[in-house]
Amino acid sequence: MKLLIASDLHGSLYWTEKLVKAFKDSQAEKLILLGDILYHGPRNDLPKDYNPKEVVKLLNTFASSIICVKGNCDAEVDEMVLDFDLSKAEKILTFPPLKDYTIHLVHGHHLQERTFPPNSIILFGHTHIPTIYTSQENYFINPGSVSIPKNSSPNSYVILEDRSFKIMDFEKKIIDRIAL
């Protein structure tokens, strides 16, 4: 079983097209989106080829394959145009190869205010910086940003296959990895 995990598309058609290509090429069963899908936000510059209407059309063609959580830049109007559920700020993911962990999908803008039970994997976005770290028996994994990376990091996403997480750039170079 394989999943592709991404965050912070921010309405970039250019980078969403690259993400969709990576999703198809990976042959992943699901595309997990960790928020900030259409709007670029007031603190960010416009991403390359900013075109939320076309991003909507493209993502809606894969709606049955998408699991998504709401980010701080996602709005009620976004829920009205997207054909997949964007209404929840957190979801629990069931992934049989990691049944000994609880997998939390969150955007991450309230991450510092949260505690998670032991043996949790927290998949989060928001910072636009790809990272993997552990804290108090838990794993925190951020795929970085598809369209507006920060701190000189590349545009990136995560592939989860079996019990292995790989942060990848769009040249298919592995940035970081962890196997559980």
- In the 8-state DSSP scheme, what is residue 112? G
Q: Residue 144: pLDDT above 90?
A: yes
The C-alpha atoms of residue 22 and residue 130 are separated, in whole angstroms, by 17
The distance of Cα 79 from the centroid of its chain, to the nearest Å, equals 17
Determine the 3-state secondary structure of 143 from DSSP: coil
List of domains in the chain: 2-179 (3.60.21.10)
Which pTM does this prediction carry?
A: 0.96
The amino acid that residue 176 corresponds to is: D
pLDDT tens per residue, range 71-124: 999 999 999 999 999 999 999 999 999 999 999 999 999 988 889 999 999 999
